[in-house]
Amino acid sequence: MTAALEGIRVLDLTRVLAGPYCSMILGDLGAEVIKVEAPGGSDDTRKWGPPFQEGVSAYYLCANRNKQSITVNLKSEAGKEIIKKLVQESDVVLHNFKTGTMERLGLDYETFRSLNPGIVFCSITGFGETGPNKNLPGYDFIIQAMSGLMSITGDDDSGPQKLGVAITDILTGLYACIGIQAALLERTHSGEGQKIDLSLYDSAVSALINIGSNYLMTGQVPERLGNHHANIVPYQTFHSSDGEMVIAVGNDHQFAALCHVINQTHLIFDTRFRTNPARVENRKELTKILQIAFSTQPTTYWKEKCHQANIPFGPIQTLKEVVNDGHLEARGMFVSADHPKAGQVKMIGSPLKLSKTPTQIKQHPPEPGEHTMEILQALGYTPSQIENLRKSNTI
């Protein structure tokens, strides 16, 4: 069985999350990914925990499958020579060093392009390679704060809140995948690669979507609405008699169906609630009415009634409930792989369901330098040369 990106080699000089998440997706799609770290291992997530499984970090495991690992000292001339040899045989270089670092190392795009005109060079930084903040370090939490995402997350009581995962890293990793594949596709026409300049800040701002559009249209700074929606009502959480749930009514027809479900059909004709703009205007009054109704029955009751009426509904589930969800099991969203140190490790699977070239797990998240010997041998290094590189702390 062929893979979608079979034959594509990615030289991955990234660490932590945005870059490794991107290269993992490319690896899931069949690309050959070579993860480069400093001797001993320099991806910070290897030490982020607990939890650890036999000393292996769960954080590291989440974004590093389907990769080989080589350790190289990028500050040594011999190490730089290894990277340049790999570039000549690669299609993509991915890095997330601070702006200017690759240039100082002599491992920049122009250098690589002279060695391999077809190379696609993707840079991931906090603020991009242009602009007054280009030299600042970028961390997801900082970017969530600066981008406006935190200002619209939470409510008046909680104050600004970050999302529960490093969402700007994930978004940037996804954008990197899109950009890399677009550049590879363009290369089939021109024969040449190109440079991609991605920033966490840009990616986070792009995620403002309708909230950003609302401000650009009105100049009105949005308030934090907690689990409410700025433009749609009711589109929020409610308490049932035994838990919490989400109702997402997207149009007037669904609202009428909801009124039937709660046996309050008179609300359909109430001028305060007849249209969505009216419901947004009278959000507090409608929410109070609906909350009283929903508190009379358990979540399972409302789930059945809403599904029967084609009203978007979802219980708020814990991760224990998510992992035991039969639907996700049927979709293959939880997978396992044997790891030489940690034993069998469980991971979240790929959401990409390709009918002809499905994603596969061919390689466990590697230990530092696990494949250094075979990668160097494939480049033409002899055993004695490899041993000398090891003794000089180049690998």
Which residues are tagged catalytic? 169
Helix pair 167-190, 18-28: axis angle to 10 deg? 50
Question: On the CB side of 175, how many CA atoms lie within 13 Å of its CA?
Answer: 23
Reading the block at residue 262, the tokens are 């709660």
Taking CA atoms, 312 is separated from 236, 245, 247, 256, 299, in Å, by 11, 11, 6, 13, 14
With CA atoms as reference, report the closest residue to 289 among 311, 310, 268, 313: 268
SS (H, E, C) the chain: CCCCCCCCEEEEECCCCHHHHHHHHHHHCCCEEEEEECCCCCCHHHHCCCCEECCEEHHHHCCCCCCEEEECCCCCHHHHHHHHHHHHCCCEEEECCCCCHHHHHCCCHHHHHHHCCCCEEEEEECCCCCCCCCCCCCCHHHHHHHHCCHHHCCCCCCCCCCCCCCHHHHHHHHHHHHHHHHHHHHHHHHCCCCEEEEEHHHHHHHCCHHHHHHHHHHCCCCCCCCCCCCCCCCEEEEECCCCEEEEECCCHHHHHHHHHHCCCHHHHHCCCCCCHHHHHHCHHHHHHHHHHHHCCCCHHHHHHHHHHCCCCEEECCCHHHHHCCHHHHHCCCEEEEEECCCEEEEEECCCCCCCCCCCCCCCCCCCCCCCHHHHHHHCCCCHHHHHHHHHCCCC
173/171 Cα distance (integer angstroms): 5
Reading the block at residue 297, the tokens are 């029955």
Reading the block at residue 234, the tokens are 């009711």
